[in-house]
Structure 1
Amino acid sequence: MKRRSSSGSRFLWWLLWFSLALLQVWNHYRDKPPSLPPPKETRFVKLTDVRLVEDASNDGDSFKIEHGGSAHVLRLYFVDCPEKRQYALVKNRLKDQAAYFGGLSIEQTLALGHEAKVFTERLLNEQPFTIQTRWERVFDSARSYALVFFPDGEELSEKLVRAGLCRIHTKGTWMPDGRREYDFEDHLRLLEREAKAAHRGAWGIPK
């Protein structure tokens, strides 16, 4: 009787161990749930009927807009366009921007910054656009980070990267359609490689 009891105990332990191992294998290979959406406080506010406001500080990635009778200064997520003028506070940033594009001169970098400003202003003046923002402040300034979408579905950072007029270098974010920050940045990197291969914008300037 004792031998049967011992054999039965071993069988139960073996069955328990096998069940636990099977559960671990199932848990490893089962379909994982989709990523949770960002918290409510990080969700975007959509602004329509927006227009660009002419301002001396406007450039390729930062500009003033008017919406609902109020003016706001916005700064793009993900990208950084070259400076359009040189002054003490941007001296090192200009050097970094010049180096990013393979060793441009400061004069070439400034010219590229002006080209980016014209590019962005032309798009915002000639096409309707929609703003997506969380009113997240840029450091301690009055500017807010934002995304700018056009009727073709593209965001302004995509168009700037595709044209070779910016570097991928600033704060990113979850996208309003649920794409993760790093997935969208990987997408921008792909567009940047295409711009390099086609020698667009900065990638076509003789060094």
Structure 2
Amino acid sequence: MSIKAKSGGSWFTVLLVVAAIAVWAYDQKKALDHSPAKPSASRTEKADSPPKAKPAPPAAKGLEKIGGYEVYRNCTLVEARNNDGDSFMLKLPDGRQSEFRLYFVDTPESAFKSYKGGETNRQRIDEQAAEMGGITAQQAVQIGQDAKHFTLDLLASRPFDIYTRWDSPFHDNRFHAFVEVKQNGKSRWLDELLVEKGFVRIHTKGADLPDGITYAKQKAHLLDLERAAKKAEAGVWGK
């Protein structure tokens, strides 16, 4: 075989090798393009964080909205083990059931409870008692029971309206809401009535009202109602 023939054969071999490498690289790229993407750091952190409460199903078309809140008319109370003075299970007019919690106010625990692992709600009750005039834990629980009876009796007496944004800051499937009830023929916010009765501390999350009254103005109003309740020695303030 001549030198020229050998040189041509070598170049042909090199071309075959280069072509094979190119085909292999193309196949690898194609496989990567179609493989499932690895989760990013942010997605991994999100998965490791406490699960957020699932929002309610999409609202029906034409749902009434006021001030950024969805409005549900003629809601009713649903009997549930966890119903309390400031949180309760409700049935919406479309048949859905969800647990709601009042903005702005916190009623004391209505019972001493023990949980798995030996934990109790005693520390929370002590904190509530301290903020409500320094009463005893037993007195705080009694106020919690009074608040529970007042709220549940009122909600069970007739349908009422709620205003919610479906926010659940504690990720516990309880959604904050303003509850509008009828009291002596007038429309009232339930949280205001509880303050007037001396059944709550102004403690938890607040928000602007549906009618546009700001958070700051409403909190100042609630503090005025609380001062009046103290003067009248209503509820806890008469202990």
TM-score bracket, shorter-length normalisation: 0.7 to 0.9
Q: Which residue of 1 aligns with 2:200?
A: 166
Give the CA deviation at 1:90.
2.5
2:139 is equivalent to residue 108 of structure 1? yes
- CA–CA distance in structure 2, aligned partners of residues 106 and 95 of structure 1: 6
Give the CA deviation at 1:85.
1.5
Instruction: Provide the alpha-carbon RMSD of the alignment.
Output: 1.4
2:89 is equivalent to residue 64 of structure 1? yes
Aligned residues: 165
- Aligned residue for 1:73, secondary structure, equals strand
Structure 1 residues without counterparts, runs of 5 or longer: 1-39
- Find the structure with the greater CA-based Rg: 2
- CA–CA distance in structure 2, aligned partners of residues 169 and 46 of structure 1: 24
Give the CA deviation at 1:127.
3.3
Q: Which residue of 2 aligns with 1:131?
A: 162
Give the CA deviation at 1:91.
2.3
- CA–CA distance in structure 1, aligned partners of residues 218 and 74 of structure 2: 26
- Aligned residue for 1:130, secondary structure, equals strand
Tell me the TM-score normalized by structure 1: 0.76
Deviations 1:89-116 (A, max 9, x none): 5222211110112111111111110110
Identity of aligned residues (%): 41
Matches within 5 A, 1:134-153: 134-151=165-182, 152-153=186-187
- CA–CA distance in structure 1, aligned partners of residues 120 and 146 of structure 2: 21
Q: Contact (CA 8 Å) 2:69, 2:210: kept in 1 or not? A: yes
- CA–CA distance in structure 2, aligned partners of residues 59 and 199 of structure 1: 23
Q: Which aligned runs of 4 or more in structure 1 are off by greater than 4 angstroms?
A: none
- CA–CA distance in structure 2, aligned partners of residues 177 and 140 of structure 1: 27
- CA–CA distance in structure 1, aligned partners of residues 96 and 159 of structure 2: 18
Give the CA deviation at 1:56.
1.2
Q: Which residue of 2 aligns with 1:201?
A: 235
- CA–CA distance in structure 1, aligned partners of residues 149 and 187 of structure 2: 21
- CA–CA distance in structure 1, aligned partners of residues 237 and 217 of structure 2: 24
Q: Which residue of 2 aligns with 1:10?
A: none
